[in-house]
Amino acid sequence: MSELSPELVASLEAIVGKDRVLSDADSKAHYGGDWTRVYRPAPCAVVLPGSIEQVQEVVRLAARENLAVVPSGGRTGLSAGAVAYRGELVIALDRLNSISDFNPVERSVRCGAGVITEQLQNFAQEQGLFYPVDFASAGSSQIGGNISTNAGGIKVIRHGMTRDWVAGLKLVTGTGELLDLNRGLMKNNAGYDLRQLVIGAEGTLGIVVEATMRLARPPQDPVVLVLGTPDMASVMEVLEVYQKRMDLQAFEFFSELALQKVVEHQGLQRPFESPTEFYALLEFEQRSEADMELAMELFEHCVEQGWVIDGVISQSVAQAESLWRLREDISETIARWTPYKNDISTTVSKVPAFLAEVESVVNGAYPDFEIVWFGHIGDGNVHLNVLKPDALPKAEFQQRCGEVSRWVFEIVQRYGGSVSAEHGVGLLKKDYLHYSRSALEVDLMRQIKRAFDPAGIMNPGKIFDL
């Protein structure tokens, strides 16, 4: 529905309070969308519950009225998983933002769904600990949303995804009941681990209202290497050599074209003179002098083998940070070419062949398109960016990219890869889900959703259609 009836507004206000039901156009636009700009936000209203009980009451009301709800966190999603585009009621978790019950022995802390990632990172630091899941939207993304999308980021090869830091979570199901899953236990083999099912379910099984998050030991100073390689195969050799001997914290890559754009537009210096086809960026934690010596020894080995042409190693934290900018500034830099983006993965060792095939298909059909590659190569996750030629009208570019999508996903399928490595499916990737998941898998997902949400009101139409 486009507007709530006065009766429903009154019922909602009775639950959450008078000022917590918003139906002005600004609020609808603000709370009804995410970082994607494809679908126009059009919720019927927005509610801001202040407690888990209020979330339950709102959901029970919605179930009775057969009113679809969309949970809303930091709204930084990139797959339109949190977009309310057809009259849904938005339940924004912003007010469930308290951090409590810090336990230094468990190294765990209880977070409301609305706690902002950076808030948790800062809290951890104040306790002499570390929350290691980090990504560009940490300043506004919320823990509930991170869990619902199993957010990844730049330290996944060392610290894993959000999934790996959730010791317990509370979920309000589609019937308004509360599930308290795993309660912070490290070991619990008593029945199916339903918590794992909820992580990454994008709000389709219910609303994550609270979580017990684990924290890590604080890392020592990071050391960063940027290595120039003649080809992708060499990047893989470098990865293998380093991972066999060191606990890398990051292993990223970017192409020469990506570097060129960043150097030109961000006023950064090239890491070294000689341009090479691809660059690998490695980070490790320096726990003693021995780590630095080992890193240098492996570097020399890679040079001898011809896998590395040139390289640089940071001598200070500041230098490590400035080397990171070569990789982290890419996304912002290429935004001016309104790139067509895809967040895809294969198994790590197949990446070189996969990249070559995608390039050849896209270049063959559209020789005027520039392709910028970068990503988390250590975990097989690459970001494909096709830049719009300046002369090409936007609409025509979009239309041609539609064709590119199909070709890319067909290649993803042949490589057994994922159409969404870390951004989730939402609305944006729904039509492509079958390239990564079988009909049987999608059917099982539907039946599982029905068990958690018999009325089908929890973020319907996301991931798959009912």
Query: Footprint of its own copies on residues 402-421 (CB under 8 A)?
Result: 416-421
Task: Name which of 385, 371, 384, 401 is nearest 257 in CA terms.
Answer: 371
Task: Name which of 178, 171, 217, 159 is nearest 196 in CA terms.
Answer: 171
CB 426, min distance to its own copies, A: 10
Q: Which two tokens stand for residue 288?
A: 């003693």
Determine phi and psi for 412, rounding to 5 degrees: -55, -45
Which one of 22-30, 34-42, 88-96, 432-440 is the stretch in contact with its own copies (CB under 8 A)?
Answer: 432-440
Window 130 to 189, contacts with its own copies (CB under 8 A):
149-150, 152, 156-157, 161, 163-164, 173, 177, 179-181, 183-189
CB 323, min distance to its own copies, A: 23
CB 202, min distance to its own copies, A: 9
C-alpha 352/C-alpha 340 separation (Å) is 21
Q: Applying CB under 8 A, does 31 fall inside the site for its own copies?
A: no
Window 199 to 228, contacts with its own copies (CB under 8 A):
199-201, 217
C-alpha 142/C-alpha 119 separation (Å) is 9
Residue 340: which residues within 8 A CB-CB, separation 6 or more? 385, 386, 388, 397, 398, 401, 404, 405
Contact 343, 383 (CB under 8 A): yes
Residue 272: exposure state from Cβ atoms within 10 A (0-12, 13-18, ≥19) = middle
Q: Which residue of 64, 287, 325, 406 would you call a contact of its own copies, by CB under 8 A?
A: 287
Nearer to its own copies, 252 or 379 (CB): 379
CB 248, min distance to its own copies, A: 10
Site string for its own copies, 51-90 (x = CB under 8 A): ----------------------------------------
Window 345 to 364, contacts with its own copies (CB under 8 A):
345-349
Helix (H) or strand (E) holding 440: helix 439-452
Contact 61, 11 (CB under 8 A): yes
C-alpha 399/C-alpha 393 separation (Å) is 10
Contact 142, 74 (CB under 8 A): yes
Helix (H) or strand (E) holding 257: helix 256-266
Site string for its own copies, 99-118 (x = CB under 8 A): ----xxxxxx----------
Nearer to its own copies, 75 or 376 (CB): 376
Map residue 144 onto helix, strand or coil. Answer: helix
Nearer to its own copies, 315 or 347 (CB): 347
How many residues touch its own copies under the rule CB under 8 A: the total is: 88
CB 22, min distance to its own copies, A: 30
How many CB atoms within 10 Å of residue 188? 14
Which one of 16-24, 45-53, 66-74, 194-202 is the stretch in contact with its own copies (CB under 8 A)?
Answer: 194-202
CB 263, min distance to its own copies, A: 28
CB 342, min distance to its own copies, A: 12
CB 443, min distance to its own copies, A: 8
Nearer to its own copies, 4 or 232 (CB): 232
Nearer to its own copies, 20 or 429 (CB): 429
Window 229 to 248, contacts with its own copies (CB under 8 A):
236, 239-240, 243-247
Task: Name which of 466, 403, 443 is nearest 68 in CA terms.
Answer: 466
Contact 348, 236 (CB under 8 A): yes
Q: Which residue of 6, 191, 267, 364 would you call a contact of its own copies, by CB under 8 A?
A: 191
Q: Applying CB under 8 A, does 196 fall inside the site for its own copies?
A: yes
CB 88, min distance to its own copies, A: 21
Q: Which residue of 10, 29, 451, 466 would you call a contact of its own copies, by CB under 8 A?
A: 451
Nearer to its own copies, 76 or 345 (CB): 345
Which one of 3-11, 50-58, 196-204, 390-398 is the stretch in contact with its own copies (CB under 8 A)?
Answer: 196-204
C-alpha 466/C-alpha 460 separation (Å) is 7
Window 371 to 390, contacts with its own copies (CB under 8 A):
376, 379-381
CA distances from 450 to 53, 149, 204 (A): 23, 20, 10
Instruction: Tell me the one-letter amino acid at 265.
Output: H
C-alpha 230/C-alpha 235 separation (Å) is 8
Contact 423, 436 (CB under 8 A): no
Determine phi and psi for 14, rounding to 5 degrees: -65, -25
Which one of 59-67, 135-143, 364-372, 444-452 is the stretch in contact with its own copies (CB under 8 A)?
Answer: 444-452
Task: Name which of 141, 160, 28 is nearest 77 in CA terms.
Answer: 141
Window 290 to 319, contacts with its own copies (CB under 8 A):
290-291
Which one of 5-13, 33-41, 255-263, 340-348 is the stretch in contact with its own copies (CB under 8 A)?
Answer: 340-348
The Cα angle at residue 367 between residues 364 and 371, in degrees rounded to 5: 95
Nearer to its own copies, 270 or 434 (CB): 434
Q: Applying CB under 8 A, does 422 fall inside the site for its own copies?
A: yes
